[in-house]
Amino acid sequence: MPLVGESVARIDGVGKVCGRAQYVDDIFMRDLLYAKVFRSTIANGRVKRIDTGKAKALPGVEAVVTFEEVPGHPFPTAGHPYSTDPSHQDVADRNLLSGRIRLYGDEIAAVVAVDELTAEKALRLIEVEYEEYPPILTVSDALKEGAVEIHANTGNVIKKTGYELGDLAQAFNEADYILEDQFKTSVVQHCAMENHSAVAYVDAQDRVVVYTSTQIPHICRRVVGQALGIPWGRVRVVKPAVGGGFGSKQDVVVEPLAAFLATRVNGRPVKLELTREETFIATRTRHSMEYAFRSGVKKDGTLLARKAHIFSLNGGYASHGHSIGAKCSGTVRVQYKQKAVACEVSTLYTSMPAAGAMRGYGIPQVTFALECHMEDLARAIGMDPIAFRLKNFHDAGFVDPLSGVKAHTCGIKECIEKGKELIQWDKKKQRFRDQSGTKRRGVGMACFYYGTGTWPVGLELAGARIVLNQDGSIGLQIGATEIGQGSDTVFTQMAAETIGIPLDWVHVSSEQDTDISPFDTGAYASRQTYVSGWAVKKAAAEIKNKILERAQRMKDIPAPALDVTAGWVVYKQTGEKLLSLESIALDCYYNTAAAAPITADVSCNIHTNAFAYGCTFAAVEVDLATGKVDVLEIYNIHDSGKIINPGLAAAQVHGGVSMGIGYALYEQMLFDPKTGKPLNNNLLDYKLMTAADTPDIGVAFVETDDPTAPFGNKALGEPPAISPAPAIRNAILDATGVKINELPMTPQRLFEAFRQAGLVGQQGGRQHV
Amino acid sequence: MPLVGESVARIDGVGKVCGRAQYVDDIFMRDLLYAKVFRSTIANGRVKRIDTGKAKALPGVEAVVTFEEVPGHPFPTAGHPYSTDPSHQDVADRNLLSGRIRLYGDEIAAVVAVDELTAEKALRLIEVEYEEYPPILTVSDALKEGAVEIHANTGNVIKKTGYELGDLAQAFNEADYILEDQFKTSVVQHCAMENHSAVAYVDAQDRVVVYTSTQIPHICRRVVGQALGIPWGRVRVVKPAVGGGFGSKQDVVVEPLAAFLATRVNGRPVKLELTREETFIATRTRHSMEYAFRSGVKKDGTLLARKAHIFSLNGGYASHGHSIGAKCSGTVRVQYKQKAVACEVSTLYTSMPAAGAMRGYGIPQVTFALECHMEDLARAIGMDPIAFRLKNFHDAGFVDPLSGVKAHTCGIKECIEKGKELIQWDKKKQRFRDQSGTKRRGVGMACFYYGTGTWPVGLELAGARIVLNQDGSIGLQIGATEIGQGSDTVFTQMAAETIGIPLDWVHVSSEQDTDISPFDTGAYASRQTYVSGWAVKKAAAEIKNKILERAQRMKDIPAPALDVTAGWVVYKQTGEKLLSLESIALDCYYNTAAAAPITADVSCNIHTNAFAYGCTFAAVEVDLATGKVDVLEIYNIHDSGKIINPGLAAAQVHGGVSMGIGYALYEQMLFDPKTGKPLNNNLLDYKLMTAADTPDIGVAFVETDDPTAPFGNKALGEPPAISPAPAIRNAILDATGVKINELPMTPQRLFEAFRQAGLVGQQGGRQHV
């Protein structure tokens, strides 16, 4: 009964469409109170005076808490596993509330009231006086002599790292051609459908309980414990259904404050739900980055030398700190082979919203720069950009010299072949050769590689528990979190296939509870199918063995002669049915002489990684007169190893590509350069892709079979968002000859570039084309 | 660090007092609907016609369901583990709703509406026509020729069983004296503070979820599955905090209907909460029973022969069926030694509310009869009743010839000694010898024995899972249920002592969830500390071993040289601290090279039983003129083996004795003999004991150390309710010379008996005394 590899329907699909899934906002409790945060209206400065007297006096207000009343110790927020090595721990740079204002909307005080309206009224009664400093919004703002330090004694540098491999000077010397480029990527926001939201209370055993929309319940538990300064065991975090995360909920944003406020109102439940406006500025963003690339190549297209400088703007708090910047430097080193390579990355504090994890964890950023640069290099030496990439892309067997991770499988060549075929690359290249008029068409492509999970940098630990129910079905508990991506469904497939039962005999506990759910670090780094999949497979195999042992006991037939198929124990040789799983389960539960319910409670510590690969091919039409880009066709092709569920995998790709197109063309958080005030932190002014804006997306998979994975599978969740932007940029270049090196490629930016390139006149307009 | 045996405070005490515990009534959900049941206003009959048209048309009504629309298959409700042996299965004699009316208030239809008021209005719009039969309220009603059968083809007999051991005729022949007695005990209700209540919905995976106030979540899951006719694995039952059960919630009463109704409103959550009036008639009661005892004794007090006939009136549905009657027959056989003994028990259907489990499971009933009878036998042969009991009570080493259960320990003699001493028996006997006047004082006592758990009749299976948290604390999951009795606290003591950690390092998951909680049959038969205690001890021992193994791995010191004390791994010989449990736990979770969180997931199938013993000593003052009885002093002494928590144990005794006094003197559900209509199904007319009515209760324990128990402990939850009623009856006898053989011993009943005995005149009044 093959189930892994089949496009089975989401186990929660119909239920979610029917409104049966329960999110944080579906949690109601007796005596529920509502919290609102009093936020700064300056981007950099400090509170000189705060007066909450009038707010406290408002009827219905249960508590007003300011930065002066929160624990004095700082805590970290990143959704990384804890490390016992202090040098590996996340940056602890924030308090629950702060009088030092580090971004517009920084959290100064909080109000708890009997309803939301009263809480909002109370916010307006709080009086505050600031001392204001100039906002720090750029690399030069942050690093210039005498810049105000966002956090004391940092020089506004969270961390700076670098490496040099090989003799860089010598390699550049050997080059026939050297190209230098600069790129910029923008601040964007995850815009998950569900904003950050948590309900916290103190339970009958004096423990702090937090229901929250999170990707990382077990990590959240630890951070809440750290933030409140209580033993972690006294914290319980529960994750109900989650309406999307994309990395924004791989950070512990609202939970510590909600928990702390609950302790300030005698343990009564407190709901802290951010508005969309708050989610934009007070959760996390994708880092904007600036890149300087210098590469040397031989005439034959051999890449010899590369040096990259990257600055990553992290906003007012460290969040994931330098991890994302450091990961970017890996792409410079790993994606293409080169004799010598050097990279230097700095992660800086600014007065912007804190940047953190976002689908791709820095790789969509650096890959934009890299794949634009590769395109330009190929053009510079007059080589076909695809051939140039293929010549230099690393192969199966490649070992990253720094991490030691080996590429066991590599399907990038097949991905590119498939992409070329799907978009009819050669035909279009031919057709688009000589164009005139306002509207120009072009094709472009870009490649990527992406690691699966975090080993060897991070801990990779996953757990699963399976219980055989009385009817022969199983209950499956995992620590891994369903956040909309379909993980519960693929774990169901894995468990059903491994044991030998129908799909609907698997009942997944979709709600993680840190008191109960097996430990798993959570949903990030496209790790769950790869890492947590091992735990599910191991637990399911253990259940199957125990079933066969019980069957042996019941029928006195050796377990090795038996197998499980379609919910029956059968003779392995003949397939003849021997015992239904229901009869075995009933015997396990109710045989008074020898009752022993069958369970498996396992944990897997994974010490492997696997590189996923892929590429995007895009065909665009550019209107020179308006700067508008239409994506006519787009294909996103992946080597993600064996595909567990092609239908769900395609859905992941659709979402990721849509996000990638938005990143390429529309999305950018804007800030007033004078004040640092966000200008478009809402879904009206922030141009998020909608279904109407999204072209048909072509999806294809090149299935390799990775030996390190539980089912041959590799990362898929994040990769679709990586390569669309550079592919579109390269298609625009193909159409217009103009290099756009900064995201997003808005009409304004394109129009200015076209004008500069002489494609349109100084006044713009069609007549000059 | 001794923790077992200490009177530690309830772990949920402060939280419950502060209102932090969450009961079913604290569950609010989006789109919550409210169900109300349309109940019969006759006690025996059938529905000829029902019209729900007007109810359905009422705005706000989401569904009206009648008996014609529910599944046709019958299901059982008793809170017993399932049995794979059909002859051991509970009686399946009811549907979700019924057109055959078997008791006043039987469930005919149900309404689901947007609020309670609308649901109640809709009930009043349902029109029904009945065909009515005479109510069956007594043994003779049920068994008389031509009686209407409550359930077809039963003759109104659910089951009749009996045994005869030894040569009964011969034994009676040898007797010097033969006494025949008849007794009656009454219908009473549990009156837990929290009425029966459930919220059910269909989840995103199309599974039926029921939050309910139950003693037996895992059994409830099975019964809901049976009732709805769906695989049991598709049912999830969650038990939040429970406000008392006393056996009434060892039955599956509201859950199947709530679940079914949820499926009729597209899975929206449906709350079905009974009123107090409904709880009286539509949940469960204590069986009223009628007893005929015949015993033969020698002059020296040797008990030779006994024959008992017992009729148990079970109401309109079988619920626990014949189990309770059968258990009563055990007391006849086991409590006292006799050469020959026979007993016949019949459990009958009547038109009264269904009787089920209630604290003591039939033993308070039969023990009333037995201990009155023993008193009367002693008096008949002129022997001291205590000496008579002691002469005949079974001893340690006794083996029940039918069940095979052995009394490993027996502290009844010590209990009686302690009771005599506490009440100053001899002194009072002396003082009360010659009394005159209206008010007479007397002392009385009664003994009991009580098995612990259900082995060998029932399955005894318990599970526990423990997780070592990052801070060295543990999470403890048990399938056993806290229902107010303090089980979570004693399990905490057991786990903390076994591992070697402070008490507040144990975090109990008090909410059982059948998807997750280790399988355990639940709270009944005073089994949890005895049976589930083994699971906790086993899991805790496994955790301790794994901690020591990890310490060995970290420090290269052999585990056998180490121990755990107060949260530290220490050298066993010196007590010197080596590693904190926190440091070990952090290594288990976060050592990237060898992470492996420590957990234990165990199950115990117990094949032992242990007899608990005890007695009540009471001193009363009886007002002959009014029939009023004042309990002046009452002492309840127990051999419950080792006492895990003396403070909590005393609280159990207080509650049980209060219940026992109510049973003795006040409580009785009354029914109109013509119509079968309940006359006092509310807390105004039903005379439940209040704190003001309860005298000071003396508690003492005789601690034996039972070798079959995890900590030497035996049953304690139910025993306190057993012996107060016969002790008070015997004290009244001592005071007045009048034998009251029917419960409750109300002023009316006593006054009539006193008048019959010539203690008061035909007109009553003081002058005749």
pLDDT for the residue A769: 42
- For residue B511, the chain A residues in CB contact (below 8 A) are none
Residues within 8 A of A (CB atoms), B 236-295 only: 236, 241, 266-267
Q: Are the beta carbons of B506 and B492 closer than 8 angstroms?
A: yes
Q: Does the beta carbon of B463 lie under 8 angstroms from any beta carbon of chain A?
A: yes
ipTM: 0.96
Nearest CA in chain B to A16: B204
Same domain, A551 and A649: no
Cβ within 8 Å, pair A233-B16? no
Alpha-carbon dihedral A216, A222, A223, A224, rounded to 10 degrees: 100
Decide if A404 touches B, using CB distance below 8 A.
no
Give pLDDT tens digits for B406-442: 999 999 999 999 999 999 999 999 999 889 899 999 9
Chain B partners within 8 Å of A29 (Cβ): 22, 26, 28
Question: A295 and A381: one domain?
Answer: yes
Average of per-residue pLDDT across B395-405: 96
Q: Is the pLDDT of residue B765 over 60?
A: no
Residue A475 with chain B: CB contacts under 8 Å: 233, 515-516
pTM above 0.80, yes or no: yes
Query: Is A15 in Cβ contact with B233 (below 8 Å)?
Result: no
**Do A88 and A170 reside in the same domain of the chain?**
no
Residue A394: predicted pLDDT:
97
Give B-chain residues touching A589 at CB under 8 angstroms: 81-82, 461, 519
Among B605, B632, B667, residue at a domain's last position: B605
Q: How far apart are CA B576 and CA B570, in angstroms?
A: 5
CA distance A355 to A353: 6
Contact A82 B474 (CB under 8 A): no
Q: Are B83 and A475 a contacting pair at CB < 8 A?
A: no
Q: Per DSSP, what are the bridge partners of residue B602?
A: B464
Q: Are A728 and A745 in contact (CB under 8 A)?
A: yes
Smallest CA–CA distance from A608 into chain B, residue: B593
Kindly write down the DSSP assignment for every residue of B572-635, as one continuous string. TTT--EEEEHHHHHHHHHH-TTS----EEEEEEE-----EEEEEEEEEEEEETTTTEEEEEEEE
Choose among B82, B203, B507: nearest Cβ to A15: B203
pLDDT of residue A2: 82
Residue B288 lies in a domain: no
Q: Tokens standing for A638?
A: 């992946």
Indicate the helix (H) or strand (E) that contains A158: strand A157-165
Which residues touch A4 (CB under 8 Å, ≥6 apart)? A493, A494, A497, A642, A644, A711
Smallest Cβ–Cβ distance between A233 and the set B207, B507, B587 belongs to B507
Give B202's contacts in chain A (Cβ within 8 Å).
Answer: 15, 20
Q: Please give the pLDDT value at position A768.
A: 45
Query: What are A79's two structure tokens?
Result: 């959704």
Answer whether residue A142 is part of any domain. no
Contact A514/A236 with Cβ under 8 angstroms? yes
Whether A89 and A205 share a structural domain: yes
Percent of chain B with pLDDT over 70: 99
- A52 and A108 inside one domain: yes
For residue A213, the domain's CATH number is 3.90.1170.50
What's residue A767's pLDDT? Answer: 46
d(CA A754, CA A341): 34
> CA B480: distance to chain centroid?
14
Question: Which helix (H) or strand (E) covers residue A113, if one does?
Answer: strand A107-113
Checking if the pLDDT of B769 tops 60, the result is no
Residues 195-214 of B with CB under 8 A from A: 201-207
How confident is the model over B693-746, as pLDDT tens digits?
899 999 999 999 999 999 999 999 999 999 999 999 999 999 999 999 999 999
Contact state of B459 with A592 under an 8 Å Cβ cutoff: yes
- Structural domain includes residue A26: no
**Rounded average pLDDT per 10-residue block, chain A, 769 residues:** 92 94 94 97 98 98 98 98 95 98 98 98 98 98 97 98 97 97 98 98 96 98 98 98 98 98 97 98 98 98 98 98 97 97 98 98 98 98 97 97 97 98 97 92 98 96 98 98 97 98 97 97 98 98 98 97 98 97 98 97 98 98 97 98 98 97 98 98 95 94 98 98 98 97 98 95 53
DSSP string, B56-109: HHSTTEEEEEEGGGS-SS-B--B-S---SSGGGSPP--B-SS-SEE-STT-EEE
Question: Do A624 and A753 belong to one domain?
Answer: yes
Mean pLDDT, range B65-80, rounded to an integer:
98
pLDDT of residue B767: 46
The whole-number average pLDDT for the span B62-75 is 98
Q: Give contacts of A474 with chain B, Cβ < 8 Å.
A: 233
Do A599 and B597 count as a contact with CB atoms less than 8 A apart? Answer: no
Does the distance separating the beta carbons of A516 and B267 come in below 8 Å?
A: no
Please tell me the distance from the alpha carbon of residue A354 to that of residue A285, in angstroms, as a whole number: 6
CATH of the domain at B548: 3.30.365.10
Choose the closest CB to B28 out of A29, A84, A236: A29
Q: What is the rounded average pLDDT of the residues B296-318?
A: 98
Number of domains in chain A: 4
Domain-ending residue, one of B605, B624, B653: B605
Q: A507 vs A473, A529, A736, B228, CA distance in Å?
A: 7, 18, 54, 18
Q: What is the mean pLDDT of residues B277-281?
A: 98
Asked if the structure places residue A21 within a domain, the reply is no
> B9 at the A interface (CB within 8 A)?
no
Interface of A with B in 468-487 (CB under 8 A): 469-475, 477
In a domain, B345, yes or no: no
pLDDT digits (tens, 9 = 90+) for B567-610: 999 999 999 999 999 999 999 999 999 999 999 999 999 999 99
Determine, for residues A81 and B233 on separate chains, whether the beta-carbon distance falls below 8 Å: no
Phi, psi of B456 (to 5 degrees): -95, 5
Closest residue, chain A, to B457 (C-alpha): A592
Alpha helices in B297-456 (DSSP H): 323-334, 363-380, 385-392, 412-423, 425-431
Chain B within 8 Å of A580 (Cβ-Cβ)? Answer: no
Interchain pair B204, A505: CB under 8 A? no
Residue A141 lies in a domain: no
* Pair (A209, A275) in one structural domain: yes
pLDDT at B762: 61
Residue A159 lies in a domain: yes
B77 alpha-carbon distance from chain centroid: 15
Q: What domain range includes position A374?
A: 151-185+290-392
Given this model, what pLDDT does residue B763 score? Answer: 57
In this structure, are A589 and A510 located in the same domain? yes
> Are residues A342 and A210 located together in one domain of the fold?
no
Would residue A576 count as lying in a domain?
Answer: yes
Q: What is the pLDDT of residues B309-333, one digit of tens each?
A: 999 999 999 999 999 999 999 999 9
Same domain, A413 and A388: no
Q: What is the pLDDT of residue A77?
A: 98
* Cβ of residue B18 closer than 8 Å to a chain A Cβ: yes
- Interface touch A15/B206, C-beta < 8 Å: yes
Pick the closest to residue A352 from A273, A256, A285, A257 (CA basis).
A285
Contact status, residue A568 vs residue A578, Cβ threshold 8 Å: yes
Query: Are both A592 and A469 inside the same structural domain?
Result: yes
Q: How many CB pairs under 8 A join A and B?
A: 204
Question: Does A23 contact B at CB distance below 8 Å?
Answer: no
Which A residues 50-89 touch B at CB under 8 Å?
81-84
Same domain membership, residue A226 and residue A80: yes
Tokens of A69: 């009343």
Beta-bridge mates of residue B111? B36, B64
pLDDT of A238 reads 98
Chain A residues in contact with B225 by the CB 8 A cut-off are 471
State how far the Cα of A485 lies from the Cα of A655, in Å rounded to an integer: 10
A359: which 2 tokens? 């689908």
Q: Which helix (H) or strand (E) holds A636?
A: strand A628-639
Cα first-last separation, chain B = 62
| pLDDT level of residue B170 (50, 70, 90 thresholds) | very high
